[in-house]
Structure 1
Amino acid sequence: MKNSSLVTKLVATFAFVVTIGYVLIAVVLSMWFQSYFLDKNRADLEETTNLASSSVPLYLNKEIDDTELLRNLSLIKGVEKGDILLVDASGYIFFVTNEAYDSLVFTRFNFPDRDRLVEGNSIEINGEVNPITKEEMSLFIKPVQTGATYQGAIVVYTPLEQIREPLNEIYLRIWTITATAVILSILIIYYIAQRMLFRPLAELNTIARKISKGEVTQRVLVTSTDEIGQLSESFNTMAESLEQTDKNRRDFLSNISHELRSPITSIRGFIAGILDGIIPMDKEKYYLKIVYDEIQRLTRLVNDLLDLSAMESGKFSFKLTELDINEIIKVCITKFETKIDDKGLKVGVTLEGDHLYVAGDRDRLIQVITNLVDNSIKHAPDNGNVKIVSRTKGKKVHISIYNDGPSIPENDIKFIWDRFYKGDKSRTNKVSTGLGLPIVRNIITQFGEDIWVENKNQGVMFTFTLSIT
């Protein structure tokens, strides 16, 4: 995986945060243990020097000898690695446990705070330089008192290394555990992130690349219900939409090829027949009329395609104005008088009021109503019924156009707005381009209104809304 990849950046970030956390914990623990050990060492010295201090007045009074005093002083914690000096009330050293300090005997000891000792308080100084060995020592001074009288002091030099040795072992364990915990945490984070985040994302990326190359049937395996799982489901939904779009594109190309090929074949055949003399001269006008009708059909198809393309690309222009929808309905019905008479249809027009004003574009509304009325006339049986109704409902006007032809199968209703969709081949003819309903829906949608279709007990009714002005 590349160093600039998401997994590297995220794991590095987590590793940094986890490391900082563990280091802070290790530092706090180290400081706590250090404070604990120093406090414990002081408490032990306080306790053991307190036991041994009772021997000092006895020694000064010649009640015990050097051997007895040394045995009593051996009770002091750390004496095996430390050095003890006994100082009298005048501040002079009169006894040492280590021969190396003999040169200090009968010399004055420089107390850091004698007044404090006289008051009965012990003194502890870490990092004091030993006057003989020149090593860093922990200096502990315990006052010796008889009753309230200050008799002198016990001075204990303990090498700091003696105190630091167990601390260093603890530090080593703390930082070893910290380093191990950091490494394990990074490995666990990497494993979890790889399994739960990066692997699904990598699969998404792989499938996306395949889809971009035309493999629109590829899908991502959904293995969880978390955000990654939801993303995978959304991705699959998008992929299904792309697959459907690709299918619609291929169907569109197939349909448009068929729709163009049929009239072109007819035109070419009839023109060739006329040029070759196969069609008699007295029939030429008849066949030229057929050619003209086919050209008209091609013109309608191209115009409808251009309109639909403009609508779907957002280049469709219209101007909303106040207009009388009842008057537009009357104008559109008048254009179909010949077709209505030819099929013997009974047309019922029920309009609410003499005038009903709505917001819309006149030319586009004429196109909508013309398409819907033409659709109803084509699908109504001979001597059937067509009904057009306008009525208000709240702040909307509902325009309904009904015909008592065959119902639309439920499986086909959701597809009737698709270009060139023909649920029942018998319901279409050469006059239809298969684009009327998609154009109608696009116009109404761009007005910000609704349109729907529903089967009635006998027949089909299209309804769309317009806003009252």
Structure 2
Amino acid sequence: MLKPIKRPSIQMYWTSRYLVTLIIGLFIIGFLAVLWIRQTTLSHNLDLTRIVVNEMADRAVSDTGDFNDGPRFSSILERRGEEFPIETRPLTYVVNSQGVVLFQQQGPGRRNEPGTESIPTSLFKTEEVKFELNNGEAAYAVSAPIEVNSEKIGHIVMIQREQDLLNTNQEYQLLFIMLSAIGLLGYGVIFYLAKQLAKPIRRVAFAAQQIEQGSYAISLPTEKEIKEEEISDLVDAFKTMSSRLEHLEEMRSELLAGVSHDLKTPVTSISGLLQAVNEEVVTGAEAKEFIEISLKETERLQQMIESLLRFNSFAAGGIPIYPTKTNMHPFVLRVLNQWHATLPDSKLILNVENLSSELEVKIDPLKVEQILINLAQNALHSVQSDGQIRITLKENCQNIEIHMKDNGSGIPKEEQPFIFERFYRGNDKKLRIRGLGLGLSYSRMIARAHGGDLLLVESSKEGTTFCLTLPITT
């Protein structure tokens, strides 16, 4: 025996997948955000460096046109260095036009490095230069010319490692906090939503288990508890299904009781009658009458069994149809008049009306005759002995419609949805008439085998109308 597959719950399944999707999405967002922060920070710090370098170039010479002395220039560099939002401040050089270092400052936070006598002129040919240090690290050199009377006498050069310019721990911390908060919030939301989604489905699943065990006393979510259209449709469909299953279960129990009773009654009657004849309790003409009654009961019993077998075979394999072209007006008139003639001492009024006498349809006459007689027989059981049955033929688009209307007591409203169910018999009918409740179900099967249908149009205390539709084929 195969072991049942262990499946996760809806809540766990969708929460885990959403969490994976959320993590991947946040990772991509975080990666792009880091790139953007690095580029923005680098650009911002280089712009700030340019401003400081230009200001220092303006203050590098005194009013007499000479370079300021070391201590004074150092204090200027120190104050400007405090404006940088990075821990490691840049190397600052004051050079003449040939690149000879006149003054340099390492700045707080840097390790002591040996003095530099000169720097390459390529570092201050343009305002900003990216180059590699001896250890392979990337660095930027930002320069500004020192001018006296519009003559360049030197340059201020600030050199910073790219790593120092990108040192933005605070921004990364804020980004991490923000992404973590979004992740936790997203996880909490999907966890709650998945839980709410799974709750009504769990109740439907539990109700299905109860029905499987034979209990129809189920509890399902109400309309107020359901917010989603699909869940509402599921619950409504399940309620309808459970109601029909409960009804079918009741019908099955009634069917077993009814069939047992209907089969037992003629068997008991036949047995008693034949036993009376066999023991010569009755003789002569009376014995012959008993035998005739036994034969009629036997015939009725045989018809009941044949109806069961025929219905089951048709339900399993479909109904064979042998269509022939038939003029519906004389056909319906002949069938119903013959049926009416068999009624003993009946005052029933039968009216057959049509809009055209040339309504021809390809049908199986024997099968359609069964439908008409069954409908007429049902109408006869509903009306009084002096009632009326009216049959009307109509042509509607691609179909021909046969309406059979009686002025009987009608079908109770609560029974109308079930009249085409196999073996169903109304409460009033099952007390007055013997049968298996297959007539309307079998008649609808025949109608649909023709490509048409059999419908209950209306039923009230004023009467009942059935409609048989058959397609017009050319």
Q: 1:363 Cα shift?
A: 0.9
Pick from 44, 52, 55 the counterpart of residue 40 of structure 1.
Answer: 44
Tell me the amino acid that sits aligned with residue 140 of structure 1: V
Distance 1:217 1:72, change over 3 A: closer
Stretch of structure 1 that moved more, 198-207 or 437-446: 437-446
Distance 2:254 2:333 in 1: 37
Aligned to 1:110: 120
1:140-199 Cα distance to aligned partner (Å, 9 max, x none): 33322224322111233446665444x02321331233134223312321221121x223
Distance 1:457 1:244 in 2: 25
Pick from 254, 257, 262 the counterpart of residue 257 of structure 2.
Answer: 254
Distance 1:85 1:412, change over 3 A: closer
Residue pair 1:126, 1:160 contacting (<8 A) in 2 also: no
Tell me the amino acid that sits aligned with residue 288 of structure 2: K
Aligned to 2:16: 12
* Number of aligned residues: 453
Distance 1:90 1:460, change over 3 A: closer
Distance 2:31 2:341 in 1: 98
* DSSP-derived class of the 2:81 partner: coil
Tell me the amino acid that sits aligned with residue 125 of structure 1: K
Tell me the amino acid that sits aligned with residue 200 of structure 1: P
Tell me the amino acid that sits aligned with residue 187 of structure 2: I
Q: 1:326 Cα shift?
A: 4.0
What is the 5 A alignment of 1:14-413? Answer: 14-58=18-62, 64-77=68-81, 81-97=89-105, 103-105=115-117, 108-116=118-126, 122-125=127-130, 128-129=133-134, 138-158=140-160, 162-165=164-167, 167-195=168-196, 197-222=197-222, 223-226=225-228, 227-280=230-283, 283-313=286-316, 315-329=318-332, 331-333=334-336, 335-336=338-339, 339-340=342-343, 342-345=344-347, 347-348=349-350, 350=352, 356-377=359-380, 381-382=384-385, 384=386, 387=389, 389-394=391-396, 396-400=399-403, 406-411=408-413
1:85-136 Cα distance to aligned partner (Å, 9 max, x none): 221112211223359566433xx321335543xxxxx224376458xxx987
Tell me the amino acid that sits aligned with residue 37 of structure 2: F
Tell me the amino acid that sits aligned with residue 105 of structure 2: T
1:394-447 Cα distance to aligned partner (Å, 9 max, x none): 45545455666x4225437625545351443598345x5554344334323433
Distance 1:440 1:74 in 2: 105
Stretch of structure 1 that moved more, 145-154 or 441-450: 441-450
* DSSP-derived class of the 1:322 partner: strand
1:241-265 Cα distance to aligned partner (Å, 9 max, x none): 2222222222222221221121122
**Structure 2: gaps (5+ residues):** none
Tell me the amino acid that sits aligned with residue 28 of structure 1: L
Distance 1:360 1:155, change over 3 A: same
Tell me the amino acid that sits aligned with residue 345 of structure 2: K
Q: 1:320 Cα shift?
A: 2.4
Distance 1:54 1:460 in 2: 109
Distance 2:115 2:346 in 1: 142
Residue pair 2:216, 2:242 contacting (<8 A) in 1 also: yes
Distance 1:146 1:248, change over 3 A: farther
Alignment RMSD: 3.8
Residue pair 2:411, 2:464 contacting (<8 A) in 1 also: no
1:449-469 Cα distance to aligned partner (Å, 9 max, x none): 344465699766655344456
1:332-388 Cα distance to aligned partner (Å, 9 max, x none): 356547643x31536545465776533311111222233334445555545x35556
Distance 1:420 1:67 in 2: 113
